[in-house]
Structure 1
Amino acid sequence: MQTGAAMNNRPVTYKIGQVVEFVDLIERERAEDQFQITPTSRWYVAVTNPNCQARAALGLHELGYRSFYPKIRRWVSHARVKTAKEKPLLGRYIFVEVDQPRQSFGAARAVNGIEGFVSNPDPVRIPNKFVQHMRERYVYGEWDFVRQEPCPFYEWNAVTGQMELQTRKNAPIPIGARIKIVEGEFNDMLAIVTARKGRRLDFKIAGENRYGRMNECSVRAA
């Protein structure tokens, strides 16, 4: 249960050692988004127009529909500079939650960027647990090949016939990568990696004739 103060978003001051009630951040986020999550809500798969996933997701959100499409993140080279880029993992497909009869497929189909729903002949329902599992895998970074923290991922075991949880360590930040410095003298500035030695990165500040060196834990992909 949330305290009355927390539910009203009023600032609360606690003393060190004071025991406070549990606050469900997911439920609070839902309340702030004004989404009505009910037992009748079901997930389906919509097909977007080419390169319209973000536009469709925004239009659905404005009408009160929840949507989700996982993205894969990799280093992409252009003009000798490597930048971290995301692209949809499932192509033109996105998950859309529809709560009938309060919500309709017709209104969702009319959203700018939506081509239609995967149907047979009615829209095909996707198990809630499957979508939740995909959301968790995305949040944990399974398809993020840029982040430097260990990434959990699922791998098929042909012997047991089951998906097993593994941990992956991505390749280190490459030379030529565009980074954002998050502490120190160059905090919040963009730079290009020029060399590395172990976990230390040499870099050039973007657009300036200034150079520096910093541990890779103090930078992020940009």
Structure 2
Amino acid sequence: MTSNDELSIGERWYVARTLPNREVGAAMQLGAQGFRVFLPKIARTVRHARKMRHVRTPAFPAYLFVALDLDRDRWRSVNGTFGVARLVGADERPLPVPRGVVEAILDTVDETGVCRFDQGLLTGQRVRVIRGPFAEQLGELVRLDGAGRVRVLLEIMGGRIPAIVRSSDLVAAC
């Protein structure tokens, strides 16, 4: 369940830790209780027995986001929900996610409900590395994967050297 609606006054996003492989069930249970839930998913290719299939899996296994107003909502009931281990917090109170983090993730969700952390990057595109050991190197984007990694052919010392970097470390070259 996702929601692109703005948070109301007093609401913040909080993180709920789920039991292993229970993210979807926990999100459904919380939604049935009237909580607004965001479970970011990514597309992943799974290979098994010489077959490949495309599946949607949680971007953050064993975690989901819940919009709460601690003064208004019965937030303690989240901890008692089937599939939820507990809200992440300290001193018996949940800690909010820093403002803008969940909103930035929501902005990457495409029309199919999948988070596309590689938005704006296309295979074959010229790119420039902006961070890391290959900073300021130019290259060609060869492959994107669902985990936010990309394979690039960097133009170093007159040759083309393959490298794997995070998609967040790249920008389109002019």
| TM-score, L = length of structure 2 | 0.60
Determine whether 1:88 maps to 2:58: yes
Question: How many matched pairs?
Answer: 123
Task: Answer yes or no: is the 8 Å Cα contact 2:105–2:115 preserved in 1.
Answer: no
Unpaired stretches in structure 2, ≥5 consecutive residues: 122-127, 133-140, 145-174
SS of residue matched to 1:152 = coil
Structure 2 match to 1:165: none
Task: State the one-letter code of the partner of 2:87.
Answer: F
Q: CA deviation at 1:43?
A: 0.8
Alignment pair present for 1:152 and 2:120? yes
Q: Which region of structure 1 is more displaced relative to structure 2, 94-103 or 131-140?
A: 131-140
> How far apart are residue 133 of structure 1 and its match?
0.5
Partner of 1:131: 102
Two-structure CA RMSD over aligned residues (Å): 2.8
Structure 2 CA distance for aligned equivalents of residues 67 and 60 of structure 1: 7
* 1:38 to partner: Cα distance: 2.2
Kindly indicate whether structure 1 or structure 2 has the higher relative contact order, using CA contacts under 8 Å at least 6 residues apart: 2
Q: Does 1:67 align with 2:29?
A: no
CA 1:156–1:52: 2 relative to 1, 3 Å = farther
Q: Which of 46, 49, 58 in structure 1 is aligned with 2:16?
A: 46
Q: Contact 1:72/1:88 (CA < 8 Å) preserved in 2?
A: yes
Which has a greater percent of strand? 2
What is the aligned partner in structure 2 of residue 118 from structure 1? 88
Following superposition, which runs of at least 4 residues in structure 1 exceed 3 angstroms of deviation?
Answer: 168-171
Q: Where do 1:12-27 residues align within 5 Å?
A: none
Q: Distance in 2 between matches of 1:46 and 1:64?
A: 15
Question: What's the TM-score, normalizing by structure 1?
Answer: 0.48
What residue ranges of structure 1 are gaps of 5+ in the alignment? 1-25, 31-36, 145-150, 160-167, 172-222
